[in-house]
Amino acid sequence: MSAEPDTPSPAGPEPSPVETAVAITARLADRLKALLGRRRVQVAAGSLLFLLLALAGTGWDFRTLPPPGADVSVSPPAKPASREAARLLAERQRLETALRRKVPRGPWIVIDQTHNRLRLMRGDDTVLEAPCSAGSGMVLKEGSGGRVWVFDTPRGRFQVLAKLANPVWRKPDWAFVEEGERIPKDPGDRLEYGSLGEYALYFGNGYMIHGTLYERLLGRPVSHGCVRLGREPLREVYRQAPLGTPVYIY
Amino acid sequence: MRARCLPLAVAAALIAATGHAAPAAPGKPDDPETARLRAQVESLRTERDLASGKGFYLRLDASRQRLALMLQGVALDDYAASALEWGVPEVLFVNRAPGVDWDAVGFSKGRLEPERERDRIEVVAPPPVASPSPGAGPNEPVAEGPSPPPVPKSAEEAYSVPSPYRVVFAGGVALEVRAKGHGERNRSVFRRFADALGLRLSDLGTALGIGAKERVRLRVTLDAEDAASLYRSLPPDVGLVVVGLPAI
């Protein structure tokens, strides 16, 4: 008995992968052609294309401004071109001088209450930079329907109004409420010694720059609105900032 | 009577029309030097007005490419910009440039977009208890003090920073701040994607004049740390003055 010889299949030989791909592509092209022949599809494709173009061309158009070095503020000419130019030049100088005078000549203090940094400045120079603790932003509510306190440090320009060595803290109501203590009737019971550190610089509305017992928390917003400072920087600020020193808080 | 009045009326109308059509003092147009000086004086006046107020303002010095947070003429923080761009809305590839004197006034009421979210810790005070009397016995129960409040987060922990973000001012001007390099932004990938999508949609809206009317946008690229620092510490209702801007 001999083996049956291989008989070719009626469909012919198997097409190669390339031939298959070509056939599929041709079929897809035919279908696409048929699809694009329809008016509704033409309108939809056109609208989509327009929308994409419109989106690409709608928004904001930016142009780069000259980089540093390409100085646009040319120095004024030795001789102004006209009487009007001379007047404007004089006006410009007057305004520049007025603005320059706004910068304090002596020491000034800047407090970044977000990053809890204090800088002592003199003119344009930074004399000292240290971590501090500004207001926590916490809200304290006294029971139901009672008083509400928000522990924020105020922003703006202030000035040192008083300087105190070995300050004594006269505890306000919230200090007792927060601790769950009764508010004392005797004013003497409100006094607390040592908790404000060695020095305090009062800048108004009950706010001070003072020392702290919690130096490990410096750099975090944990105070009740005052600005807490470490022992050494506080000594330096107390020594260098006279009464009237501007305090800028942002 | 009517016939006699007619020429008078026509003459009056002509005079009125001429008065409206011609500027009050046509004068000679400024030479470039005078025009430049005039623009400088205008921006200095604007800055003086802002410096005389009690509000914070941003000072963008285009010639030095620096952005400073100012209060009463004093720079509280100063950032170097690595790039500065000027943008106008564009619809179907046609841009809408504002008038040449768009920056002649200062801008105010700047607000952050996306807004900076601040979580405040709220503490309800415990009911007051009398302090234990000195004569109380050792076995007498003593009321426990309140637990200490949680330590608030630092700025870096509390605020996540989008990039870009904008400070949108009243008067149709916005400052867009982009971050360059890697900084601590504390913002998830999903939020960054949402930010980008939101900004693109807002760009389309503002360009088409939907919602807030924006005429000019100044784009500043800052170091990532500086961009984050500015976002976290920008006071509310900040103003803006632009100086040293070349003729565009």
What pLDDT digit, counting tens, does each position of A3-46 carry? Answer: 455 555 555 678 888 999 999 999 999 998 888 888 888 888 88
The stretch B68-88 carries a mean pLDDT of: 93
**In this prediction, what percent of chain A has a pLDDT beyond 70?**
88
**pLDDT top residue among B216 and A13:** B216
Q: Which chain B residues touch A75 with a CB distance below 8 Å?
A: none
Note the pLDDT of residue B19.
39
**Gap from A64 CA to chain B (nearest CA, Å):** 4
Note the pLDDT of residue B134.
45
CA distances from A235 to A163, A197, A209, A220, A232 (A): 12, 10, 11, 20, 5
* Contact: A181, B129; criterion CB under 8 Å: yes
**pLDDT top residue among A12 and A83:** A83
| Confidence band, pLDDT 50/70/90 cuts, at residue B72 | very high
* Contact: A82, B152; criterion CB under 8 Å: no
- In this complex, which of B30, B76, B244 lies closest to A248 when CB atoms are compared? B76
Q: What Rg, from alpha-carbon coordinates, does chain A have? A: 38
* pLDDT beyond 90 at B34: no
* Contact: B72, A136; criterion CB under 8 Å: no
**Gap from B46 CA to chain A (nearest CA, Å):** 10
B14-26 residue pLDDT tens: 444 333 434 434 4
Note the pLDDT of residue B24.
39
Note the pLDDT of residue A12.
66
* Contact: B154, A220; criterion CB under 8 Å: yes
* Contact: A61, B86; criterion CB under 8 Å: no
Model confidence, pTM: 0.76
Backbone angles phi, psi at B80, to 5 degrees: -90, 135
* pLDDT beyond 60 at A179: yes
A100-147 residue pLDDT tens: 988 898 999 999 999 999 999 998 899 999 999 999 999 999 886 689
* Contact: B146, A180; criterion CB under 8 Å: yes
A200-223 residue pLDDT tens: 999 999 999 999 999 999 999 999
Question: How far apart are alpha carbons A67 and B199 in whole angstroms?
Answer: 26
3-state helix, strand, coil split of chain A in percent (to 5) is 30, 25, 40
**pLDDT top residue among B24 and A240:** A240
Q: Which two tokens stand for residue B157?
A: 């922990």
**Gap from B18 CA to chain A (nearest CA, Å):** 28
Q: Which chain A residues touch B63 with a CB distance below 8 Å?
A: 66, 68, 71-73
* Contact: B219, A62; criterion CB under 8 Å: yes
Please name each of the domains of chain A with its CATH number. Answer: 107-249 (2.40.440.10)
- In this complex, which of B63, B84, B152 lies closest to A136 when CB atoms are compared? B152
Question: How far apart are alpha carbons B169 and A97 in whole angstroms?
Answer: 28
Note the pLDDT of residue B1.
46
